[in-house]
Structure 1
Amino acid sequence: MVNVRLRSLRTPLLCLSGCLFIFLLVRLIGTPKNLPRLSLLYEKAIVHHGNLQEPATDEVATSMDKDDLETLLRGNENEDWAQGNECPPYPRYENIHFPNPYYQLIQSGNLSYYLYGAYYDRRPRIAEVMVLGMVTTCTGPYPETYLQVWYDGDTKAEIVPMHQTKLGWYKEWGNYVDVAYPTLLTFQMKSKKIPRLVSLVFGNPCALPQNALQVQVQPPPEYEEAPPNPNRRPRIGVCVKYLNFPDIDMSERFVEWLELMRLLGASKVTAYDIGKLMPNTSRTLAHYTRPEDGLLDLRKFQFPEETKTYERFRSVIIEVLLYNDCLYRSLYDFDFIAVLDVDEVIMPLGQLRNWQDLLGELQSRDVNCTARSSYCFRNVYYPKELPEDGSIPKPFYMLRHVVRVADHLNPALAIKCLHDIGHVTVLHNHFALQWMDSCAPFDVHSDLAQMQHYRHVDDLKTLKEPPPVRDDNIRRLQQQLIHNSMQVHRQLGWGAAY
């Protein structure tokens, strides 16, 4: 009788034990986070707000790896060639002044040099090393300057005089005392060997170096060996300035924009993180920096803080430094680069669906020039003040905003370009400042492509006169753009598919 009653209670007891076990487990490890809401499976538009978990790692590539540099310099301290009295002396880590982790500061007279990077450039007839930094003058004069060059396997450095100073700015745009301006110092190499380490000195070529820059860009072994392939589709990269969105979650906008860059033909986007992103935005961008994706190279960065004045002006000119860093890091990875903001798109029109097709068409028409430095596209605004299409899910800002102002801006205003990386040497936000062995930049007519700018207009009258027009050329990419973006939404745990 007792056995029968116990058997009748076995199922309720097992259920009670299971519930008790789950309760204790939850108390021990906490409530699972980011569980999907079942109601989202039936929602057409994705809604996600609040702070999601941080990226698994907050370590991203930096523009100057102090740890690697310290390891290199300290590792050579006990070598005979580093301890002797030879000219020049080997740089010592203790002699380097880092105003922040991304710059090395040296001074000559009343000029301050905030050195950012060094790059090897094999494009000119005589190979060059380019030292990029911010210098507190845009008019000169510059002091007598030398580069102490160290090669792997050598016990003595080579001395190279400065060949040329290239300024990434026009003084007519603004010239203020104590402000540092983007400057490129070029040095012609005496051999075909690629330097490992360089130091900048003034006046005396044997001076004790107070800086040491590792040469960042080295051509791959096959760079000169592989014959050019005329049938290869051009490789295209995108350069973006520092990301400054401390008060708005840009996650949805970034996904749509990055996936559109991929569809248009970009194989990598380089941007700079100054620590002013919301946690969910950082988590979203971390998705694109993963090795499995690799579309985004997000590099940490800080301003040099050479002065506390002219903050707005300095925020503009610092972009030029970053665009040129991006250019010289890309010398052997791409054929063209586009300099864009995250609210801008160079959009091919008509039957042209990507940048590779667009470049092919432009080059076939460009019969008067065998090498073109840049192809530049006219700006037209798609402002949020104009009606948006509510039939498109809210996560897709550009797809919803297909009404633009009637007229493109003048070709001299706010253009953006596809730059031939074989020819441009100094970049500005909107165009190349200098180029070599090529024709001047080409103004592309707006029947082939346009630069779509998703921001407010400068002239409020253009919101009404001439009457705005519907220009939904982006909808040619709508199906694939939504599909690809929603895959990312699901991977980030934002909800159901569209």
Structure 2
Amino acid sequence: MGQDTIEQLDLSLPWLDTTTKEYLINHHPNLPVNFLYKATREGGCSLLPFLSSIQWVNIYWQKMRLNKTAILLYSAFYDPNPGGKPCVRLLGVTRSTKPPAVWCHLWFSTQQPPVVTRITIIDHLDYQGLSSDRQMPFMFTCPLPSQVAHLQPAAVSLVHQPCQPATTLLQVVGAKERENSAYLNGLKPANPATAVKGWVPAVCGPALYYYHEDFSKRMVEWLEILRAEGIGKVFLYVTDVHPNLEKVLKYYEDDGFLHLTGYSYPPPYINEPSLRRLWTLVEQYKMFAQENIYFTDCLLRHMHQYRFIAHYDPDEIPILPNHHNYTHFLEHMLTRDAEKKLKPAGYKLQWNYFYNDLNSSSQGVKEVPEYLWALRHTLTPTQPLKPTPGTFKSLFDMDVVRAIYSHSTLLCKHGGKCNPDVHIVPPSLAYIGHFKFTCGNKCSAANSTKEVLFLHKYKKQVTTAVTNVLKKLELI
């Protein structure tokens, strides 16, 4: 069976100009393909699960079962956890309101048996309460034993007995040190722990299910505005999208500004795109619970590449009234916090609606091409939105944060709630333009709206870039 597996992994896929092995590496984000390939070629430990013994569910999920409890795992991450013990964190779901404290097989070598360690912490990753009527998101934390604390495992399995053969095997993503992508011009400061200048943030978006909506033009504008604002990279998850949007995503992935990760929903949730769309409308509370898996996955997957990572949706655009880019904004916030000897978990930016049914009459806006949605919709209510927990989106400090939901933190590095928590940013410094709703009659009264043109400082750069991309992709 080993030679057959090698032959299949080496099999050429000429229409994709790749091999099966390379395709799996690029499209199966949590499978340790190279590790399994080496084990198959050279012979591996008998406890190591091979491709045929992993219990796959809905493409990306792996299942382990203990009596009546099933745990579905999606991903695993190495956390060097400065100041404490390094660990591996696994993300998964279960209907059990009290998941069992099972064991981890930490794989450092294909030839040697795994290092066995017990899960010490199980965190429920949801602001909604525990309920067995849905798949609940959890983080399982395996500390690295002292004898291997200086090493980084290549893969991890979850088992309910220390010597039991595993049905799961996840690639352990991460690194011991932060990469140069986190710093302006790739220049690492002498002491990153105290640096207030030169940080480049990234953005984690949602799992796109725009199967029924051609969001391609707006996606191009969103990405180019983020680029103009100094965002280093954007990370998105993909289920099913419109063909035009698929072209856009491929273009920006090839360009290097975008990274895509494949995602599916765990059972019993449907992954047929039309039925899933209905499910997201009818049972939103179940969808919200699942969001926390890919929101948190994104931060953990890329925390070794960027220190500051925001979560924004494609209809949300950060607006910086007093700073040209995010690096300057962060310098302002970090300098202020250093003077106060603070290190918050991140920064909350309040929503401000820019309504779809309000069109500016100013000549500068009229000159903007119709396919630049945000640059054309510049009218916003005079009265600011009343702040609630759900009207903020956050930029997280990955020196501190370890799990999030759509608007704020769920878990910090040392366990439990974040203290200090995410700080609210005054709207005069930064806020989120939410380009989503219609205003209707409430915006018909005199002086009910005002024009905001802060995004127009990027107008020339964004207009040129968006126009070039849309023409190249034959979308205009």
Shared fold (TM-score, shorter chain, > 0.5):
yes
Structure 1 position 289, deviation (Å):
0.7
Does the 8 A contact of 1:338 with 1:419 survive in 2? yes
Helix, strand or coil at the partner of 1:430: coil
Does the 8 A contact of 1:178 with 1:306 survive in 2? no
Structure 1 position 253, deviation (Å):
0.6
Helix, strand or coil at the partner of 1:215: strand
Distance in 2, Cα, partners of 1:222 & 1:104: 29
Q: Paired residue for 1:314, among 267, 275, 286?
A: 286
- When residues 244 and 259 of structure 1 are mapped into structure 2, their CA distance, relative to the original with a 3 A threshold, is same
Correspondence 1:251-266 to 2 at 5 A: 251-266=216-231
Structure 1 position 198, deviation (Å):
1.2
Q: Paired residue for 1:487, among 433, 455, 468?
A: 468
Distance in 2, Cα, partners of 1:390 & 1:221: 44
Correspondence 1:317-466 to 2 at 5 A: 317-350=289-322, 352-366=323-337, 367-388=339-360, 389-406=365-382, 407-436=384-413, 439-456=420-437, 462-464=442-444
Q: What letter is aligned with 1:456? A: F
Distance in 2, Cα, partners of 1:168 & 1:460: 37
TM-score, scaled to structure 2: 0.81
- When residues 320 and 449 of structure 1 are mapped into structure 2, their CA distance, relative to the original with a 3 A threshold, is same
Instruction: Using the TM superposition, name which of 429-438 and 154-163 deviates more.
Output: 429-438
Correspondence 1:182-197 to 2 at 5 A: 182-190=137-145, 191-197=149-155
Structure 1 position 338, deviation (Å):
0.6
Helix, strand or coil at the partner of 2:56: coil
Q: What letter is aligned with 1:207? A: Q
| Corresponding residue number in structure 1 for 2:132 | 177
Which deviations, in whole Å up to 9, do the C-alpha atoms of 1:237-293 show, x marking residues without a partner?
110111122233222111111001111111111111112x22122112211011xx2
Pairwise CA RMSD: 2.8
- When residues 221 and 289 of structure 1 are mapped into structure 2, their CA distance, relative to the original with a 3 A threshold, is closer
Which deviations, in whole Å up to 9, do the C-alpha atoms of 1:172-225 show, x marking residues without a partner?
4xx5434212211111111211111211112x22222111112122335989x9
Which deviations, in whole Å up to 9, do the C-alpha atoms of 1:469-498 show, x marking residues without a partner?
211211111111112222323432456xxx
Q: What letter is aligned with 2:208? A: L
Distance in 1, Cα, partners of 2:85 & 2:353: 43
TM-score, scaled to structure 1: 0.78
Does the 8 A contact of 2:196 with 2:335 survive in 1? no
Distance in 1, Cα, partners of 2:178 & 2:285: 42
Q: What letter is aligned with 2:228? A: L
Which deviations, in whole Å up to 9, do the C-alpha atoms of 1:425-471 show, x marking residues without a partner?
111111111224762110111111111100116x8675357712211
Distance in 2, Cα, partners of 1:431 & 1:460: 30
Helix, strand or coil at the partner of 1:321: helix
Structure 1 position 393, deviation (Å):
0.9
| Corresponding residue number in structure 2 for 1:120 | 78
Structure 1 position 155, deviation (Å):
1.5
Distance in 2, Cα, partners of 1:448 & 1:144: 45
Q: What letter is aligned with 1:147? A: C
Q: What letter is aligned with 2:100? A: P
Q: What letter is aligned with 1:372? A: P
1:469 aligns with 2:469: no
Q: What letter is aligned with 2:331? A: G
Distance in 1, Cα, partners of 2:105 & 2:307: 31
Following TM superposition, the consecutive aligned residue runs of length 4 or more in structure 1 with deviations greater than 6 angstroms are 54-59
Structure 1 gap ranges (5+):
1-53, 84-88
Q: What letter is aligned with 1:381? A: Y
Does the 8 A contact of 1:128 with 1:186 survive in 2? yes
Structure 2 gap ranges (5+):
1-14, 181-187, 271-278
Structure 1 position 100, deviation (Å):
2.1
- When residues 221 and 472 of structure 1 are mapped into structure 2, their CA distance, relative to the original with a 3 A threshold, is closer
1:228 aligns with 2:211: no
| Corresponding residue number in structure 2 for 1:157 | 114
Which deviations, in whole Å up to 9, do the C-alpha atoms of 1:66-90 show, x marking residues without a partner?
75565355345x44xx24xxxxx33
Query: Percent identity among equivalent residues?
Result: 22
Distance in 2, Cα, partners of 1:299 & 1:336: 19
- When residues 236 and 189 of structure 1 are mapped into structure 2, their CA distance, relative to the original with a 3 A threshold, is same
Helix, strand or coil at the partner of 1:113: strand
Helix, strand or coil at the partner of 2:27: coil
Distance in 1, Cα, partners of 2:67 & 2:112: 31
Structure 1 position 390, deviation (Å):
3.4
Structure 1 position 231, deviation (Å):
6.8
- Paired residues in the alignment total 423
Distance in 1, Cα, partners of 2:257 & 2:117: 37
- When residues 141 and 315 of structure 1 are mapped into structure 2, their CA distance, relative to the original with a 3 A threshold, is closer
Structure 1 position 117, deviation (Å):
0.9
Helix, strand or coil at the partner of 1:267: coil
Q: Paired residue for 1:104, among 42, 62, 77?
A: 62
- When residues 409 and 69 of structure 1 are mapped into structure 2, their CA distance, relative to the original with a 3 A threshold, is farther
Instruction: Using the TM superposition, name which of 186-195 and 140-149 deviates more.
Output: 140-149
Does the 8 A contact of 1:73 with 1:91 survive in 2? no
Helix, strand or coil at the partner of 2:244: helix
Q: What letter is aligned with 2:348? A: C
Q: Paired residue for 2:266, among 301, 304, 326?
A: 304
Structure 1 position 108, deviation (Å):
2.2
